[in-house]
DNA sequence: CAGAATCCAGCCGGATACTG
DNA sequence: CAGTATCCGGCTGGATTCTG
């Protein structure tokens, strides 16, 4: 790891993290992990997602090279989405972060509860 | 890892990823990594950040237990921010993701370039 | 110095309607 | 089936102003 342009590197990392945290990507790549899926199958499986967000998410993931879109020109048209090698590789560090989150969710929640109770407590005694 | 509530787990992960991708957190925790810093020192070091965003980012990080805020009641008041143990632990999987990003940034950019050229090419030949 | 409050522009994400 | 187009509310994030 060279340290020539740390700011730029931070920017890239931040951007990728924003993408990965984009609210639907985790669900989408999780749904694509076992096997390729079609658009509406994906939509049904995820459930709450609107088709606008699903197509936007898939387009972003495809653009970044994490998902491959395959069109079979039959009628009605069939489109399949699958993770690429890059997408599967991305999953490793993301999975590590996911595992860490799952392991420490209670610590985070405890910190939040402590923070919130501190806030409501000594300070705003005049209000409410 | 139990698989009892995968959706909830995904939600937590996604939320944490959103926080971590929050545009300034990487810069902030990076600045705090070597040592505790004061508010304006942090602001100067990061540079582009507005004080609103810096205080909001710090507040979120403090609430989640990643940063500890220490007030020394002198005049003028001195406030120091430092990473907690939890914050330093979080850095490990984040660093892994950062390393992956740095290692694969060129592959992502190549995918984007390919995608963009595909888009401009065969399709919208009528326009422009 | 360390923030809180306010105002405001722009983007995100959802609902709906329409197309090939 | 697999999308695109449009409208619209809400949140994000920045600039400015004010406070202790």
Helix axes A25-32, A6-20, angle to 10 degrees: 70
- Nearest residue on chain A to B22, alpha-carbon basis: A18
Please give the model's pTM, rounded to 2 decimal places.
Answer: 0.90
Q: Which residues are bridge partners to B121 per DSSP?
A: none
| Rg of chain A over all Cα atoms, to the nearest angstrom | 20
Instruction: In whole angstroms, give the CA distance from residue A108 to residue A102.
Output: 10
Interface size A-B, in CB pairs within 8 Å, comes to 135
Instruction: In whole angstroms, give the CA distance from residue B28 to residue B94.
Output: 13
Nearest to B90 by CA among B70, B68, B69, B64: B64
Note down pLDDT in tens along chain A; length 128 residues. Answer: 555 677 778 888 899 999 999 999 999 999 999 999 999 999 999 999 999 999 999 999 999 999 999 999 998 999 999 999 999 999 999 999 999 999 999 999 999 999 999 877 654 443 33
| Residue B65 in this model has a pLDDT that exceeds 80 | yes
> What is the model's pLDDT at position B125?
43
pLDDT in tens, B70-111: 999 998 999 999 999 999 999 999 999 999 999 999 999 999
Q: Which of residues 14-73 of A touch strand C (CB under 7 A)?
A: 22-24, 48-53, 56
Q: Show the CA angle centred on residue B113, arms to residues A51 and A15, nearest 5°.
A: 65
B78 neighbors B72 (Cβ within 8 angstroms)? yes
B55 touching A (Cβ < 8 Å): no
Closest nucleotide (CA of A69 to C1')? Answer: D2
> What is the model's pLDDT at position A120?
72
pLDDT in tens, B2-21: 556 777 788 888 999 999 99
Nearest to A31 by CA among A45, A13, A47: A45
Helix axes B25-32, B51-63, angle to 10 degrees: 70
More confident residue, B120 or A3: B120
> What is the model's pLDDT at position A119?
76
> What is the model's pLDDT at position A121?
63
Nearest to B96 by CA among A15, A3, A95: A95
Q: Which domains occur in chain B, in start order? A: 7-117 (1.10.10.10)
Q: How far is the alpha carbon of B3 from chain A, nearest alpha carbon, in Å?
A: 11
Closest nucleotide (CA of A39 to C1')? Answer: D2
Q: In what order do the strands lie in the sheet with B78-83?
A: B37-38, B78-83, B67-72
Nucleic strand D under 7 Å from the C-beta of A77: yes
């Amino acid at each position: 790891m060279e340290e020539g342009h740390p700011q730029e590197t931070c920017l890239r990392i931040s951007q990728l993290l924003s993408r990965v945290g984009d609210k639907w990507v985790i669900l989408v790549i999780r749904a694509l992990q076992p096997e390729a899926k079609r658009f509406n199958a994906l939509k049904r499986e995820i459930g709450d997602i609107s088709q606008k967000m699903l197509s936007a998410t898939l387009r972003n993931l495809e653009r970044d090279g994490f998902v491959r879109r395959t069109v079979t020109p039959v009628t009605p048209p069939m489109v399949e989405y699958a993770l690429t090698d890059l997408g599967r590789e991305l999953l490793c560090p993301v999975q590590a972060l996911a595992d860490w989150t799952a392991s420490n969710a209670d610590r985070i929640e405890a910190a939040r509860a402590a923070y919130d109770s501190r806030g409501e407590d000594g300070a705003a005694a005049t209000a409410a």
